[in-house]
Structure 1
Amino acid sequence: MLRKYLTGFTAPSSYDKVVQLACKPKATLPKAKYLDPIIAATWDSGALHEVCVALSSRFYDPNATVVFKALIVLHTMIRNGNREGVLRSGSETLQLSHVSTRNYDHTSPAHLQNYAAYLDSRIQVYRNLEHDVIRMQSDARATLAMNNMSPLRRGETRVGRKLRSMTVEEGLLRETRAVQRMVDALVACRFYLDDLEDPLVLTALKMLVQDLPILLEAENEGVLNLLERFFDMSHVDATEALTIYHNFCTTIELAIEYLGVARKQQFLLNVLIPNLKHPPISLGGALQEYLDDPAFEQNRIEYRINKDAARRGTWSWDSQPTHTRPSF
């Protein structure tokens, strides 16, 4: 049967046929004999484009099950195939925002549109940043594990250069906001409130639970970097950094709830779910007080002078003004 669908597989109609079979309107998972050639196609730009064109038409299908399966196929392509290629081709071909505006019948999962919005956020962030955050963070994890490297040395990894040690001038605020948008979109996909006996719902939830800790780790890297650079920022940048920090605190609350509920279904999901810690909420008040100080610019200059002195080895905490001492 598989050979039949792979014969002449360079033809667009062949890809369309396989995608159509993978997204049949039945509440069953796409079969491996359809997914395997789709995943293989992600490594060939021409074939990938044809797969995305075929998928795109599925997102306009009036049957919610077809749309849901098409989203699962896309998510699987991102996770198991050529991620950058899929995200790049998707930004040119797929119109997932259309899914978020559709009205389906009572058989559609309550969070189908949210799922589409999350995958769309992955595509849009890739378009803006030109790299996949999850891929970079996964690569960093692998590098740390392979080299038995301490987390304190993350700056030596690729992702460390992007989020943990990049400067505001290099786009730290922009990239951290982008990660935050993806996390916010993911935690809105509350499939755990749907029927977990539905294999489609369970599969989507499993992939989301696998994505979430990696995205949170990336967001945490960015927020820590922002906090360390906070007292060196302009008032405009520091204000935006504080907004990102407040949003991060809210996101963590939602993520703790999300993973907590998922942990109760761990025997079904078969995914290792980490424990998250709440960030120090009180820090926000101290940072806001620093921003509101009429002598903000003078304090910033003093901080820079003391920082330069520290680099020369002539600085101590006793010489640091109280209002500019970071409390984290």
Structure 2
Amino acid sequence: MGSSASKAALAATTEEPMEPGPKHLADLTQYINETHMSVAHLADILSKKTGSSSWVVVFKALVTVHHLMVHGNERFIRHLAARHSLFTLHNFLDKSVGEGYAMSIFIRRYSRYLNERSLAYRQIACDITKVKRGASGVMRNMDTDRLLHTLPVIQTQLDALLSFAADPDELRNGIVRAAFRLLLKDSLRLFAAYNEGMLNLLGKYFDMRRSQCRESLELYAKFLARTAKLTRFLRVAEQVGIDRNSIPHLTQAPCSLLEALQQHLASLEEKKDFLCPCGLQHTVTLSIPYRPTGNACARRTWFAAHKPAGAEQQNTGPA
């Protein structure tokens, strides 16, 4: 079985300028999902392939690794996360062919994301794209301290993913398109967990200590910015027709929500001077219709009454 996996890995990472063959990826996934089989040897083969000077070989090796992260047993990413270092491709440049310059940029961005994906697993001890979602899911039931630790990790992973930044014309290349499809799948699952965690955090907001409120408010502001970037990323997927039916529609949250959070923090800090940046027109899944007034108890009651049920049912891609 190990020999077959080695052959499949080599076949998936040839110098032929096309995405890794589905059969080879299926064989490797089957190998990974055989729980008694070691993944270290396979990881070594793919890691060695990323040391090639050919952008085609390196890119296909990265796509193969990502495919196994998404579709393989979790022990594969667990093994990668345990490695001292993964991909050191931040200076990669293939000068041998004209296309190598543009493709090298994508390789540097893509390898950074895969590194961040592995690092995130090491930091929070799970693959956040595969955690259970919904009312009984992981992010909905985290306590405040763990949320404040986990959400920044998700933000960093999402930042690395969105930095891939391919436009529709660049997705005509089969290898870039294969990477983008995997990134799209990750983005939907990652954002679903991100959104659920943010809902949980905001639900706890009016019972937090001042320092936690300040940190949560900053996290929410960053959430708005990343949601806007994700909207642009999803628009590219729609334009090229990739998984169009699974792409969610992100509804808009009013400025009054951010103002309410600022208002509560200001009351804790005994400050009265703050402005709601209503000029920011970000699209988010959280939708709160009105600004609460009164003391913290009244604002907490308002938030509970207007917690966005629609966001809980939002289609954010396959589980």
* TM-score (normalised: structure 1): 0.75
Partner of 1:166: 142
Alignment of 1:84-233 (within 5 A): 84-93=74-83, 95-105=85-95, 106-107=99-100, 108-109=102-103, 110-137=105-132, 140=133, 154-155=134-135, 157=136, 159=137, 162-169=138-145, 171-193=146-168, 195-233=170-208
Q: Which amino acid is 1:73 matched to?
A: T
8 A contact 2:168–2:239 mirrored in 1: no
8 A contact 2:129–2:186 mirrored in 1: yes
**1:264 is matched with which residue: 228, 234, 239?**
239
**1:30 alignment partner, SS class:** coil
1:39 aligns with 2:29: yes
Q: Which amino acid is 1:67 matched to?
A: V
1: CA distance, partners of 2:62 / 2:53: 14
For structure 2, which runs of at least 5 residues remain unmatched after alignment? Answer: 272-291, 304-319
Runs of 4+ that moved beyond 4 A = 14-17, 268-271, 294-297
Deviation at 1:257, TM superposition (A): 1.0
Deviation at 1:94, TM superposition (A): 7.7
Partner of 1:286: 260
Q: Which amino acid is 1:122 matched to?
A: R
2: CA distance, partners of 1:260 / 1:15: 37
1:240 aligns with 2:240: no
The range that moved more, 25-34 or 39-48, is 39-48
2: CA distance, partners of 1:271 / 1:65: 30
Deviation at 1:56, TM superposition (A): 0.9
Q: Which amino acid is 1:55 matched to?
A: L
Residues 294, 182 of structure 1: CA spacing in aligned structure 2 closer, same or farther, 3 A cutoff? closer
8 A contact 2:139–2:196 mirrored in 1: yes
1:274 aligns with 2:265: no
Residues 193, 111 of structure 1: CA spacing in aligned structure 2 closer, same or farther, 3 A cutoff? farther
Higher relative contact order (CA 8 A, sep 6+): 2
**2:260 alignment partner, SS class:** helix
For structure 1, which runs of at least 5 residues remain unmatched after alignment? Answer: 1-8, 141-153, 298-317
RMSD (Å) for aligned C-alpha atoms: 2.7
**2:47 is matched with which residue: 29, 52, 56?**
56
> Whose helix proportion is higher, 1 or 2?
1
Partner of 2:315: none
8 A contact 1:192–1:205 mirrored in 2: no
Identical positions, percent: 26
Deviation at 1:271, TM superposition (A): 5.5
Q: Which amino acid is 1:134 matched to?
A: T
Deviation at 1:37, TM superposition (A): 2.9
Name which one, 1 or 2, has greater alpha-carbon Rg: 1
Q: Which amino acid is 2:67 matched to?
A: T
Q: Deviations over 1:89-140 (max 9, x none)?
A: 1113484441233233342423222211222222111111111111114xx3
Partner of 1:312: none
* TM-score (normalised: structure 2): 0.77
1:10 aligns with 2:2: yes
